[in-house]
Amino acid sequence: MSQNYLEYLTSLHLFGSKLGLVRMRALMEVCNYPYRKFLSVHVAGTNGKGSVCSYLASILQNAGYKVGLYTSPYLVTFNERIKINGNTISDTDLAVLVMDIRNKLGSMETTFFEFTTALAFHYFAQNNVDIAIIEVGLGGRLDATNVITPLVSVITSISEEHQKILGNTKELIAKEKAGIIKDTVPVVVGKNNQGVISVIRNICKERDSPLFLVDVPVIHQSMDPLLPQTFSYRNKEYTIKMLGEHQIDNACIAIDVCELLRKGDFSISDDALRKGLLETKWPGRLEIVQKDPFILLDGAHNVACCEVLKQFLKRLPQKKIMILGISEDKEIEKMVALLAPLAETIILTESSHKPVSVVDIEHFLAPYNKVVIRCLDVQEAIQKAISVTKKDDMIIVTGSLYLVGDVLKHKLLFHNVFK
């Protein structure tokens, strides 16, 4: 993509993240409301949003539909945010759209996420997608994506994150995320505590929106957590390649959404559903990028994600070397308390996006009596991890999606590591 367009998109970060729909509605008006030209599913939640979106896109594509997918953040390139049938938007198309929307803006101020959302909506409309899967950026009620009226609204698991913006309790956060619920539009909700469910149920009643709670799957436990997972849900059997039992919960959300779409005008066979689930990939989330040496990437970026990673790693007997980097505004002490006991050696580094300093993270590691190595550079961190890794050890990169993205960006530089 032309450097000019990249620079323009980057410059929009200067406006910061300003929640509210006034600017977005004005932007949609000058863009002639592109989101009205396609059907959609809207997905909010703290964790699991991207995975649910990926499952849905894969299932619907296998069912023969042209599917738009809008997610955030990206790991390696901006283009990853906007896809149709698994293909990222090209640099050429992106450059043309940026220029087009920029010209429509005139003197109107917009944030990076608002502009990016407009790009996605335009691209999906121009390419006549049958349906688009839209991931909320932050919260829900005031998120730029919340101009759409979807076929189904989805709320995945909710935990504490962005408390300064969304509220200090899960219930307050749930209220913000439930702001995506539209009048009479059905709502699918993933596994959550009763307080969260109660908040969502009350809003569904106010909106006259049917509420569907995901049921409990029967998991066919494998002795090896690195193998594909098989489970039964609503008397049918499915297999996924995504790792971690939480991905079964996310798959069940996608199954329930598809059942609702089937009741509409969508034809989704059981074979398409099973194949879509099986083929789903979501990079940077319990992703094995190499087996010799064993390298696992997981962008666990909040306490709930770290708990999931902890439970997964406890089932793996290998000695673990952890590359850890955390972004600002995270609960560092709680994250470290979950992650530190899992590794023999912890290599601290800083991602390219709003990192917490290695010195600050090291302060919280003091009580755990671990071997701690500081590396200010991601390349150096990887190389150091390789140098201390012995046969049958495993390297884990975690603490931030941005850190995982930095590692993936550098894969070509590690030709002697990533094979």
> Using an 8 Å Cβ cutoff, are 280 and 67 in contact?
no
The reply to whether 337 and 401 lie within a common domain is yes
pLDDT of 208 > 80? The answer is: yes
What are the angstrom distances between the C-alpha of 281 and each of 49, 57, 67, 222, 299? 13, 11, 16, 20, 14
pLDDT of 414 > 60? The answer is: no
The reply to whether 275 and 291 lie within a common domain is no
pLDDT at site 365: 96
- In the block, which residue shows the tokens 């640099």? 91
Per residue, the 3-state secondary structure of 147-187, as one string, reads HCCCCEEEECECCCCCHHHHCCCHHHHHHHHHHHCCCCCCE
The proportion of the chain whose per-residue pLDDT surpasses 90, expressed as a percent, equals 84
CATH for 172: 3.40.1190.10
Indicate the pLDDT class of residue 17, thresholds 50, 70 and 90: low
**Domain assignment present for 170:** yes
Indicate the pLDDT class of residue 1, thresholds 50, 70 and 90: very low
Question: Which of 279, 309, 335 is the last residue in one of the domains?
Answer: 279
The reply to whether 235 and 97 lie within a common domain is yes
Domain hosting residue 401, numbered range: 287-414
pLDDT at site 8: 84
The reply to whether 41 and 122 lie within a common domain is yes
What stretches of 17-90 show up as alpha helix (H) in DSSP?
22-30, 49-62
pLDDT of 54 > 50? The answer is: yes
| pLDDT, tens digit, 9 for 90 and up, residues 75-121 | 999 999 999 999 999 999 999 999 999 999 988 989 999 999 999 99
What pTM does this model have? 0.94
Beta sheet of 211-213, edge-to-edge order: 87-88, 82-84, 67-70, 131-135, 39-44, 152-155, 187-189, 211-213
Greatest CA separation found in the chain? 60
pLDDT of 136 > 60? The answer is: yes
The reply to whether 267 and 296 lie within a common domain is no
Question: What is the pLDDT of the chain when averaged over all its residues?
Answer: 93
CATH for 389: 3.90.190.20
The reply to whether 266 and 316 lie within a common domain is no
Indicate the pLDDT class of residue 203, thresholds 50, 70 and 90: very high
As a whole number, mean pLDDT of residues 16-34 equals 90
| pLDDT, tens digit, 9 for 90 and up, residues 317-352 | 999 999 999 998 889 999 999 999 999 999 999 988
The reply to whether 242 and 159 lie within a common domain is yes
pLDDT at site 387: 92
| pLDDT, tens digit, 9 for 90 and up, residues 260-280 | 999 999 999 999 999 999 999
| pLDDT, tens digit, 9 for 90 and up, residues 358-407 | 999 999 999 998 999 999 889 999 999 999 999 999 999 999 999 999 99
pLDDT of 15 > 80? The answer is: no
Structural domains counted in the chain? 2
Q: 16-20, 123-127, 238-242 — which is least confidently predicted?
A: 16-20
pLDDT at site 211: 99
As a whole number, mean pLDDT of residues 172-181 equals 96
pLDDT at site 18: 73
pLDDT of 34 > 90? The answer is: yes
The reply to whether 315 and 261 lie within a common domain is no
221 three-state secondary structure: coil
